[in-house]
Amino acid sequence: MADQAADLNPGTLVEHEHSPFLRHHFEDMGQQFESSTLGMWVFLLTEIMFFGGMFGAYTVYRSMYPDAFASTSRHMIPWLGATNTAVLICSSLTMALAVRSAHLGSRKLVRWMLVLTMIFGLAFIGVKFTEYYLHWKDHLVPWLNFQYPEHPEFFYNAQILFCFYFFMTGFHALHMFVGLGLLSWLLIKNETTLFGPQYYSPVEITGLYWHFVDIVWIFLFPLLYLIGAHG
C-alpha cells in the first residue's frame, strides 16, 4: 500500500528501513532529505551574504560617482544582457522539469531536461564571454590598456565601476561553471541510479543551487545594464 501511495504522490518520500539510498547516520529517508536540503539552504545563505557584499559596495561607489557611473552605463550592451536573462529563465524551467521528472522516476526525461539545462547554461556563458571580448576590444578592461577618451575626467572612477562589473559578472559565471559541473555529475548518476519517490534529493538540491544562480542574475541585469543607462 505504501508503494501504491508513493506512485500516486511522487513527491512523497517512502521510508524504507533498508533502502539502498539511506545513509547509516540517518533514521529514515525523510530525515536524510530534510538534512541535505537544510545543508544546501545554509550554503545558499552564505552565498547571499557574499553577493550581497558586492551589491552593497557597488551601490556605495555608484552613489559616490554618479556621473562616472552614467558614462560607463552607456558602454553596456542591454540586448546581450536581456538575451542571457531569457536563456536563464528557460534553464530554470528545464531544471524544474528535471526535478519533477526525478520525482516521477523517469530516467529518460531527467536525462533530456538536464541536457537542455546544460545547453542553456553553456549558451549563457558563450554570450557573456562574447560581451567580455567586445569590452576588451573597446579597451574597457580596467588596468589592461584601459582607454576612455570620450570622458577623460572619469578615467579613474570609470575603472572602479568596470571592476565591479567584471568581478560581479565573473563570479556569477564561475557559479555557472560549478552548476554545469553538478549537472554533469547528475547526468552520470542518472544512468546508474533510478531516481524516484524514494530518492531524488541530488536533483532537488542541485535545482536549488541552479535557481539561486539564476536569481542572482535577475538582480545583476537591471543593476548593471538598465539603471542609469540613459543617465
Q: Domain coordinates of the chain in residue numbers?
A: 47-226
Q: Long-range contacts: 53-57, Cβ < 8 Å, 24+?
A: 54/164, 54/167, 54/168, 54/171, 55/168, 55/219, 55/223, 57/164
Q: What integer pLDDT is reported at residue 220 of this predicted model?
A: 93
Per-10-residue mean pLDDT for the chain, 231 residues long? 40 46 49 64 87 91 86 88 96 95 90 96 96 93 86 87 92 95 93 79 90 94 77 43
| pLDDT recorded at residue 105 | 87
Q: What is the structure's pLDDT at 148? A: 87
Give the bridge partners for 199, in sequence order.
Answer: 196
Domain range 47-226, CATH class: mainly alpha
